[in-house]
Structure 1
Amino acid sequence: MNTRRYDMRTRDRGAEATGERIVDAMLTRFASAPYEHIRIEDVAADAGVTGQTVLRRFGSKSELMKATVQRELARIAAARQDAAHASPAETIRDLVLHYERYGALILKTYSEAPLVPGLPEIAARGRAFHVEWCRRAFPVDETLRPRDRERRIAQVIAICDATTWRILRFDGGLDQAQTEVALRELLLPLIDIGGSDAGA
């Protein structure tokens, strides 16, 4: 009986590791190719399994894509939680590091989400998390009139967006350090740092 339970746990761990390899392979393919060009056979080969194994595990390419995005969004959310510090400057620094790792993938996921049934809803949850994180990480002056406060919150959310990072980093040609400085210059005048924003 104990041996059977041990064998089942071993099989479960093996199946979990196989699933992770498949998702890793899908993520690597998606990072470098349009979703429509990705073939199950190629993902399977990258993961060291057969196409049938991928289909048995995930059902279809779209379900595999959704599983991949859900896993990465969970990792991104955890990383973003870790990036929120007491110091706004430290939070901005970690936000830039976060986008150096995930920014291109986030933008690509949003742009290709309509191609995958169910993925726009997952992407929308990611956007909702981003908005809430911005509100918590960079609070604005509570004494502002509601309309002014909401406008300022919207500005903070826009500045913290991956699109803004891409514009500064690539369209604007800034390096990582310059991007951090630019975001600091944009954000700090908008947020409440120990009440210094009051009455603005």
Structure 2
Amino acid sequence: MATRTYTMRARAEQAEQTRLRILDSVVALAAERPLAACTLPAIAERAGVAVQTVLRAFGSRDGVFAAAIERTGDDVIAERLADPDDIPASLRALVEHYDHRGDLMLLLLGQERWEPVAATAVARGKKAHRDWVSAVFARALAPLDSGAAEHATDLLVAATDVFTWKLWRRDLGRSHDETLDRMRELVASLIDRIEQKSPPTPRA
């Protein structure tokens, strides 16, 4: 009985490792080529498995993409520190995240108008970024009324967006540290402006 249990556990672990390898292959391919070219044979070849193995694990091409979006979304949230007590560290984590995944994100953004899988992934990413901004800058946003808070959030979203990273990192060839310094400076100027417009704190 113990031997059978061990064998079943080993098979389950092996199946899970295969499943994760397939998902990693989907993400790697999506960072290299349009999603239309991320076919089941290409995914299987990258993962070192048969197409039938992919289908057995996920049911269909749509299924494997849905699982990849879910897993990557969870990874993205884990990578992007959102600490209102340490804004510099949160910005550093964001730039490191963009250095790791920014090119994939840009490739997906370029396909969102006609590729449903890209549209789903991008919509999730946009919401995650706005949620990150709201969490990191919660103290600066808290005193504002709803309209002013939304306006300030829009500005902070743009200041920390992947396209802002692209401008410095890719288009202008700035280093990681230079990109981080510029983003910190831009954010600091916005926070100063937001705080100047915040209503005064009532005296006790």
TM norm structure 1: 0.85
Counterpart CA distance in 1 for 2:14 and 2:141 is 52
Q: What is the match of residue 46 of structure 1?
A: 46
Match of 2:136 in 1: 137
Residue 150 of structure 2: aligned partner: 150
- Alpha-carbon distance between aligned partners in 2 of 1:12 and 1:119, rounded to the nearest angstrom: 31
Structure 1 residue 108: Cα displacement: 2.3
Q: Which amino acid aligns with 1:41?
A: P
Is the 1:143–1:198 contact (alpha carbons within 8 Å) kept by the matching residues of 2?
Answer: no
Q: Which moved more, 1:111-120 or 1:85-94?
A: 111-120
Which structure 1 residue ranges, 5 or more long, are not aligned?
Answer: none
Q: What is the CA distance between 1:106 and its match in structure 2?
A: 2.1
Give aligned pairs, total: 197
CA distances 1:7-57 after superposition (whole Å, capped 9, x unpaired): 221111011011111112222211111111122222212222111111121
Q: Is 1:89 the equivalent of 2:126? A: no
**How many angstroms does 1:180 deviate by?**
1.2
Q: CA deviation at 1:119?
A: 5.6
Q: Residues of 2 paired with 1:180 and 1:24: CA distance?
A: 28
**Counterpart of 1:108 in structure 2: which amino acid?**
L
**Following superposition, which runs of at least 4 residues in structure 1 exceed 6 angstroms of deviation?**
none
Aligned-partner SS, 1:32 = coil
Alignment CA distance shift 1:59-1:44 (3 Å): same
**Superposed CA offset, 1:57-79 (max 9, x none):** 11222221221121111101011
- Partner of 2:27 in structure 1? 27
Separation in structure 2 between the aligned mates of residue 19 and residue 29 of structure 1, nearest angstrom: 16
User: What is the match of residue 78 of structure 1?
Assistant: 78
- Please say if residues 84 and 137 of structure 2, whose CA atoms lie closer than 8 Å, have aligned partners that are also in contact: no
* Structure 2 CA distance for aligned equivalents of residues 54 and 20 of structure 1: 11
CA 1:52–1:4: 2 relative to 1, 3 Å: same
Q: Which residue of 2 aligns with 1:13?
A: 13
Contact 1:27 1:68 in 2 (8 A): yes
Where do 5+ consecutive residues of structure 2 fail to align? 199-204
Please give the secondary structure, in 2, of the residue aligned with 1:188: helix
Deviation larger for 5-14 or 59-68: 59-68
SS in 2 for 1:112: coil
> How far has the Cα of 1:114 moved from its partner?
5.4
Query: Any residues of structure 2 matched to 1:93-132 within 5 Å, and which?
Result: 93-113=92-112, 117=116, 120-132=119-131
* Post-superposition offset of 1:2: 2.7
Cα distance in 1 for partners of 2:125, 2:182 equals 25
How big is the shift at 1:121?
3.9
| Equivalent position amino acid for 1:95 in 2 | L
Is the 8 Å Cα contact of residues 135 and 153 (structure 1) preserved in structure 2? yes
Alignment partner, residue 178 of structure 1:
178
**What letter matches 1:106 in structure 2?**
M
Indicate conservation of the 8 Å contact 2:169/2:175, yes or no: yes
The TM-score, its normalising length taken from structure 2, stands at 0.83
